Structure 1
Amino acid sequence: MLHWFQNGAFPLYLAPMAGVTDVVFRQICKELGADVMVTEFVSAEGIMQADDRTRKYTEFTDEQRPVGVQLFGGDGERMGEAAKKIIDWKRPDFIDINFGCPVNKVVAKNGGSSLLKDCPTLASVASGVKKGVQDEVPVTAKIRIGWDDKTVNAVEVCKILEDCGMEAIAVHGRTRSQGYSGEANWDVIDACARAVSIPVIGNGDIASGEDLARRKQETAVSGIMIGRAAMQNPWIFREAKYYLATGETLKSVPLEERWELVLRHCRLAVTSSRYGAERHAMMSMRARLMAYCKGFPGAKELRQRLARVESVTEVEEIAAASLLAAAEAGAVTV
């Protein structure tokens, strides 16, 4: 068993999200209580071509362990070779295979959730990665519950993946055709968890400690994966653990503390090797900043301003003005 599931542990995963869960954001979420990290997905072909840009997506620090590198692709042998290259570069705690991404450019390359329609190829990919990695590190997978509502086959897929040597499976409770709309189907996630003997991690619509506690109690999952809620509120990991331990909800994070984290994230992004010049780093941060300020006083105007920032100084000025306006209005939390 993966060591982070041992002794009754119930780990909280930060979901891999392209353009979001880079090395900086993973550091922040780890500090706030996330237990297990997974990198943004990387193309097996990009790894095989020794593409420097692709390699940057696999970066992590030892403080972020346990951490896995997530691969996508449709050729099991090449995927296995790519996984071996990653292990040789810097040994992650596990390799994760992406069978869940709904994005067209991934699906078009016979990767991500497209393989949910082709179980023989899915099995070939999983077996190929397992063979390439052998016993150097564990291999896990992430899936959706099916391609569409007429082909919900997650239980079958989980059994196949277990037979192929996967040591844990994360299940997002939506189909590919749903994208991120509608509600996650936790009945199917629960059925998956009961159908296999390896850990199943549930993913979908976890926005609070109460949500997490309910899914832990009502389903057979061995852990929870949090994605989009963490983009706006990375404190969710701390809040969830507190709720699990006490049954109580933590007080809202003060606006000043929220802005402190936003500014720290900006400064870390600028000093990261990922983005290069400050302007490029801040342009890449714009969507992140707009997510952070959801629910802030004057959020609409804030988003308009943050959508144009090109420097940390600009964000500092926006933060100072926001805090002053909130103090004058008597709003200190969000």
Structure 2
Amino acid sequence: MLPWFENNAFPLYLAPMAGVTDVVFRQICKELGADVMVTEFVSAEGIMVADERTRKYTEFTDGQRPVGVQLFGGDGERMGEAARKIVDWKRPDFIDINFGCPVNKVVSKNGGSSLLKDCPSLEAVASGVAKACEGIVPVTAKIRIGWDMDHINAVEVCRILEGCGMQAIAVHGRTRSQGYSGDANWEVIDACARAVSVPVIGNGDISTGADLALRKEGTAVSGVMIGRAAMQNPWVFREAKHYLETGEELPGVPLEERWELVLRHCRLAAESNRYGTERHAIMAMRARLMAYCKGFPGAKELRQRLCKVESVANVEDIAAQSLAGLAGV
């Protein structure tokens, strides 16, 4: 068993999200209570040609452990070779295979959720990576419940993946055709957890401690994965753990603390080597900033201003004005 599931632990994963869960955001979520990290997905082919940009997506710090690097691709042998390269470079705690991404540019390359339609190829990919990593690092996988509502096959896929040597499986409770619309189907997630002996991590619509408690108590999952809720509210991990321990909700995070985290995130992004310049870093942060400010006083105006920022100083000015307005200055 993976060590983070031992002793009846119920780990909270930060879901891998392209363009979101970079090394900086993972650091923030780890500090706020996330237990297990997974990098943004990386292309096996990008790894094989030692593409420098691709390698940046695999970066993590020891303080973020346990952390896995997520790979996507459609060729089991190449995926296995890429996994071994990552292990040699980075020594992650596990390799995760992406069988769930719904994005066209991934699906069109026979990666992500496209393999849910082709179980023999899915099995070949999973087996290729598991064989390449055998005795070195564990391999896990993430899936959706199916390609569309007429082809929900997550239970079958989980059994295949367990047979291939996957040591945990994360299940997002939507089909590929749903994208992120509609409600996550936790009945299917629960069925998956009951069908295999390896841990199943449930993913979908977890945004409060009450949501977490409902799924912990009402399903057979061994942990949960939180994604989009953390984009707006990375405190969700702290709040959820407090609710599990006490049955009580924490008070809302004060606006001052929210802005303090936003500014810290901006400064860390500007200091990182991922974006090159401060301007590029802050421009890349724009969508993140607009997610953070949901629920802030004057959020509509804030979004209009944040979508144009180009420096940390720009964001500092907006934060100062927001807080001054709160204080009635």
Q: TM-score, normalised by structure 1?
A: 0.98
In structure 2, distance between residues paired with 1:117 and 1:135: 30
Pairwise mapping of residues 166-205 of structure 1 onto structure 2 (< 5 A)?
Answer: 166-205=166-205
The aligned counterpart of 1:50 is 50
In structure 1, distance between residues paired with 2:90 and 2:214: 37
The aligned counterpart of 2:240 is 240
The aligned counterpart of 2:158 is 158
Pairwise mapping of residues 302-321 of structure 1 onto structure 2 (< 5 A)?
Answer: 302-321=302-321
Displacement after TM superposition at 1:228 (Å): 0.1
In structure 2, distance between residues paired with 1:213 and 1:302: 34
The aligned counterpart of 1:225 is 225
Pairwise mapping of residues 259-278 of structure 1 onto structure 2 (< 5 A)?
Answer: 259-278=259-278
In structure 1, distance between residues paired with 2:103 and 2:325: 40
Displacement after TM superposition at 1:319 (Å): 0.2
Counterpart of 2:225 in 1: which secondary structure?
strand
Instruction: Flag structure 2 segments of 5+ consecutive residues without an equivalent.
Output: none
Code of the aligned partner of 2:293: C
Displacement after TM superposition at 1:283 (Å): 0.5
In structure 2, distance between residues paired with 1:160 and 1:27: 34
In structure 2, distance between residues paired with 1:236 and 1:204: 14
In structure 2, distance between residues paired with 1:149 and 1:43: 28
Find runs of 4+ consecutive structure 1 residues off by over 2 angstroms: none
In structure 1, distance between residues paired with 2:51 and 2:250: 44
Displacement after TM superposition at 1:152 (Å): 0.2
In structure 2, distance between residues paired with 1:21 and 1:135: 28
In structure 2, distance between residues paired with 1:171 and 1:301: 37
Counterpart of 2:305 in 1: which secondary structure?
helix
Show CA shifts across 1:38-86 (max 9, x none). Answer: 0000000000000000000000000000000000000000000000000
In structure 2, distance between residues paired with 1:311 and 1:147: 41
The aligned counterpart of 1:78 is 78
Displacement after TM superposition at 1:261 (Å): 0.1
Code of the aligned partner of 2:19: G
Code of the aligned partner of 2:205: D
The aligned counterpart of 1:332 is none
Counterpart of 2:19 in 1: which secondary structure?
coil
Code of the aligned partner of 1:89: W
The aligned counterpart of 1:120 is 120
Displacement after TM superposition at 1:230 (Å): 0.0
Displacement after TM superposition at 1:295 (Å): 0.4
Counterpart of 1:257 in 2: which secondary structure?
helix
Pairwise mapping of residues 31-110 of structure 1 onto structure 2 (< 5 A)?
Answer: 31-110=31-110
Displacement after TM superposition at 1:231 (Å): 0.1
In structure 2, distance between residues paired with 1:328 and 1:128: 61
Displacement after TM superposition at 1:173 (Å): 0.1
Show CA shifts across 1:137-184 (max 9, x none). Answer: 000000000000000000000000000000000000000000000000
Identity %: 82
Code of the aligned partner of 1:39: T
Q: TM-score, normalised by structure 2?
A: 1.00
Show CA shifts across 1:4-57 (max 9, x none). Answer: 000010000000000000000000000000000000000000000000000000
Instruction: Flag structure 1 segments of 5+ consecutive residues without an equivalent.
Output: 330-334
